[in-house]
Amino acid sequence: MRVFVTGGTGLIGSAVVAELLGNGHTVLALARSDASAQAVEAAGAEALRGSLADLDSLRAGTARADGVIHLAFGHDFSSADAVAKSVAEEGAALAALGDALVGTGRPFVTCSGTPHVPGRASTEADPLMTEGPVGGRGRSVMSVLGLSSRGVRSSAVRLPRTVHNQGFGGFAGLLTDIARRSGVSGYPGDGAQRWPAVHALDAAVLFRLALERAEAGTSWHAVADEGDAVRDIAAVIGRRLGVPVESVPAETYGPLGQIFASDQPSSSAYTRQALGWEPKHPSLLEDLENVQP
C-alpha cells in the first residue's frame, strides 16, 4: 500500500514510517522544510513538500496514496492561544484529508488522546473529550470517524499522555524539560495521579495494524502502561538529573496544568484482543533511565 503520512519526521512519525517500510508499504511523507525532506528520504520514503496549513498539498498527497495516516500537530503549548491555533490548524487539515477520501473506501488513520474517565481506566468504548484546552481535537477526530458513513475506512489510534523513546517524548518529556530549566523535578498536587504511556516503536505497530485491518469508524488504544503515578515519573527524572523532587503548582504547566493534575489511566485490553497488538519495548519508567544529566 502507498501511504501518505503527515508528521512523518516526529518522534512517533519516524517510527511509523520505518514500521510501514519494514512491512512492505511505500510512504509519501509531508515535509515542511529541506531538513525534513532529507530526513524522509534518508529513511527510504518519498517527500512531499508542504505544511499542515497547506491544504492543497494535503489533497495532492492524498490523491497519490492508497491510505492516509495523520500524525502532525503543532506542539506549541506556551499559551492557550497557541494551543487553540494548533487545534484549529489540525481541524482544517483533517477536514481536507477526509473530504479527499470520501467515497474511495481507503483507510484514514488519525490520532487522538486517550479519554479521561473519573474513577477508572478509560477504554476504547469511552467517548473522547470535546471540552477543555484541546477539546477541539476530540471534535475533529469524531468528524473523521463519522466519515465511515461516507465511504472512508476511518479509524483513530488514541495515544496516551506519554509516547516515549530513549527517554524523550510526551508529558514525561515536558516534565524533564521543565526540571532541566528550573532545577526541580516537579509534579502537580500529591503526584498520585496516573498517566498512561507507550513506547513509540510499539505505537507505530498499532498505526500499521489500524491501517491494514481496522474497520471503519473504530477507535484503538496505544497503551502499554495503564498508568504510572506522576510522582514516580518525577522521581526517576530527578534522580537522573540530580535535582530535588517535589510538588509544584499546576500553574507551572501553563494551559496544560489542569490536564497534568488529573488522574487518567487507560486500558488497551480490547485493542490487544481485537488487533493482536502486543507492546514489546521498554516501559516508561525503564525508558526514563536514558535521560541524561
pTM of the model: 0.95
Cell representation of residue 59: 489533497
Q: For the segment 218-268, what is each residue's pLDDT rounded down to a tens digit?
A: 999 999 999 999 999 999 999 999 999 999 999 888 888 888 999 999 999
State how far the Cα of 33 lies from the Cα of 124, in Å rounded to an integer.
36
Q: Decide if 29 contacts 8 (C-beta within 8 A).
A: yes
Mean pLDDT by 10 residues, the chain (293 residues): 97 98 98 96 97 96 98 75 83 97 98 94 93 82 97 98 96 95 96 98 98 98 98 98 96 85 96 98 98 94
Q: Decide if 214 contacts 110 (C-beta within 8 A).
A: no
- 86-89: Cβ within 8 A, 24+ apart: 87/134, 87/136, 87/137, 87/140, 88/136, 89/52, 89/53
Is residue 230 classed as helix, strand or coil in its secondary structure? helix
State how far the Cα of 120 lies from the Cα of 232, in Å rounded to an integer.
19
Half-sphere exposure (CA, 13 Å, Cβ side) for 20?
Answer: 31
